[in-house]
Amino acid sequence: MTDAYRPYTLVAELTYRCPLRCVYCSNPLDWARHDGELNTATWLRVLEEAEDLGVVQLNLSGGEPLVRDDLEPLIRKARALDLYTNLITSGIPLTRDRLARFRDLGLDNVQLSIQDVSAPESDRIAGLRSFDRKLEVARWVKELGFPLTLNTVLHRDNLDRVPEVIALAEKLEADRLELANTQYLGWALVNRGALLPTRDQLARARAVAAAARRRLRGRMEVLFVTPDYYSEFPKACMDGWGRRFLLVSPTGQVLPCHVAHTLPGLTFENVKDRALEAIWRESAGFNAFRGEAWMPEPCRSCDRRAIDFGGCRCQAYHLTGNAAATDPACSLSPDHGLIEAARAQAVDEVPRSFIYRTPRAPVGG
- Predicted structure pTM score: 0.94
In whole angstroms, give the CA distance from residue 23 to residue 114.
13
> pLDDT at residue 365 above 60?
no
Q: Which residues contact 350 (CB under 8 A, 6 or more apart)?
A: none
Strand partners, 149: 111, 176
CA distance 231 to 199: 10
- Interhelix angle 71-80/96-105, nearest 10 degrees: 20
Q: Are strands 245-248 and 9-13 parallel, antiparallel or unpaired?
A: parallel
Please choose, from the candidates 282, 76, 312, the residue with its C-alpha nearest in 3D space to the C-alpha of residue 186: 312
**39 touches 252 (CB < 8 A):** no
Exposure string of 319-353, with b = 16+ CB inside 10 Å and e = fewer, is bbeebbbbbbbbeebebeeebeebeeebeeeeeee
Distance CA 315, CA 322 (A): 9
- Strand-pair partners of 11: 59, 247
Which pLDDT score, from 0 to 100, does residue 256 have?
96
Cα 138 from Cα 122, distance rounded (Å): 15
Residues 245-269 pLDDT 10s:
999 999 999 999 999 999 999 999 9
Average pLDDT, the chain: 94
Beta strands in the chain (DSSP E): 9-13, 57-61, 84-89, 109-113, 148-154, 176-181, 221-225, 245-248, 254-255
Question: Under the phi-then-psi rule, with left for phi > 0, alpha for psi from -120 to 50, and beta for the rest, what region is 204?
Answer: alpha
Question: Tens digits of per-residue pLDDT, 161-204?
Answer: 999 999 999 999 999 999 999 999 999 999 999 999 999 999 99
Stretch 126-155: mean pLDDT: 97
User: What order of strands is seen across the sheet that includes strand 176-181?
Assistant: 221-225, 176-181, 148-154, 109-113, 84-89, 57-61, 9-13, 245-248, 254-255
Question: Phi and psi at residue 56, in whole multiples of 5°?
Answer: -120, -15
How far apart CA 99 and CA 53 sit, in angstroms, is 29
Q: What is the pLDDT of residue 202?
A: 96
Residue 317, burial from CB neighbour count under 10 angstroms (0-12, 13-18, 19+) = buried
The CA distance from 84 to 245, in Å, is: 14
pLDDT, tens digit (0-9, with 9 covering 90-100), for 65-110: 999 999 999 999 999 999 999 999 999 999 999 999 999 999 999 9
pLDDT at 303: 95
